[in-house]
Structure 1
Amino acid sequence: MRGLAAVLLCLMIASCGQVPPAQVPGSSTPTSDSVTTATTTPSIPAPLPPSSAPLPPTLPTPSRALDPSVKTVRGTVSAGVESGCTILTAPGEQYLLLGADPAIAVAGAVVEVSGKADPGAMTTCQQGTPFHVSSTKRG
């Protein structure tokens, strides 16, 4: 079956490049010796005129309050085991705070942060679930 498909493919490719045979001398059609080929450049289509149809209305961006992945967590801030890492310990969970206000999220402070947990984020802090903070307040 494969061999037959390969043969058919070769025949199709070979037939695409065939040149018509030379005409018999004295006939009304020119022979291959007297045929000149003209080169043509492909035409580029003209750009379409601007549409007069109105654009569809844009949808407003939903607020963070409507985004189900945004959450607010309250807990106590502590320094992480790695330098520069800030951890929020909440009931039953530890979060690695990414982007929290450093003036508010200091070790020992009770804070409330809003943002999104990102368990797949790569960090060097080695503890807590990474949490991208959008707002920080004393809590």
Structure 2
Amino acid sequence: MRGSAAVLLCVVLASCGAAQTPAGSGPSSSQPSSTSSEAPATTTPSIPPPLPPSSAPLPPTLPTPTRALDPDVKTVRGTISAGVEAGCTLLTAPGEQYLLLGADPAIAVAGAVVEVSGKPDPGAMTTCQQGTPFHVTSTRRG
């Protein structure tokens, strides 16, 4: 009984190995290679062809938000207040009042002293009618 189980195990294992051989990649176990009139197939590793050189331009790099690279970036420190119109946030700094566009609402609350970085945009159209519009790139408590 033990001998027949071992033989059965060998047959199962041998058939599993033969089942994984891709078709046409070599001689199968049912066809002996010595009687075949065809030359044995040679297997070569599958290496993808090299990519052709790309003529597409590289994607643009994103600007680094530092004052050294962009002279228009300004950092201002002041006190936050609510504007006359609803939803308008103002920053009062010495000698200037800015309308903050895009400031973090969790930090830019009325009465808080904050420091914002960004770009003033005096020509921007707003409904707030107060202060110089200022596009904020970063907000932090001052």
- The TM-score bracket by the shorter chain reads 0.5 to 0.7
Number of the residue aligned with 2:137: 134
1:110 aligns with 2:110: no
TM-score (norm 1): 0.58
AA aligned to 1:63 is: T
Number of the residue aligned with 1:44: none
Number of the residue aligned with 2:100: 97
Deviations 1:4-41 (A, max 9, x none): xxxxxxxxxxxxxxxxxxxxxxxxxxxxxxxxxxxxxx
**1-side partners of 2:89 and 2:95: how far apart?**
17
Correspondent of 1:80 among 70, 83, 86: 83
| Aligned sequence identity (%) | 78
Deviations 1:55-97 (A, max 9, x none): 6666644312111111111000001011110000001000000
Q: Helix, strand or coil: the match of 1:67?
A: coil
Number of the residue aligned with 2:64: 63
Structure 1: gaps of 5 or more residues: 1-50
AA aligned to 2:90 is: I
**2-side partners of 1:125 and 1:97: how far apart?**
10
Q: CA 1:54–1:90 in structure 2 vs 1: closer, same or farther (change >3 Å)? A: same
Number of the residue aligned with 2:45: none
Q: CA 1:124–1:56 in structure 2 vs 1: closer, same or farther (change >3 Å)? A: closer
Instruction: Find runs of 4+ consecutive structure 1 residues off by over 2 angstroms.
Output: 51-62
Structure 2: gaps of 5 or more residues: 1-51
**1-side partners of 2:79 and 2:116: how far apart?**
11
Across the aligned residues of Structure 1 and Structure 2, the Cα RMSD in angstroms comes to: 1.9
Q: CA 1:53–1:84 in structure 2 vs 1: closer, same or farther (change >3 Å)? A: closer
Q: CA 1:53–1:106 in structure 2 vs 1: closer, same or farther (change >3 Å)? A: closer
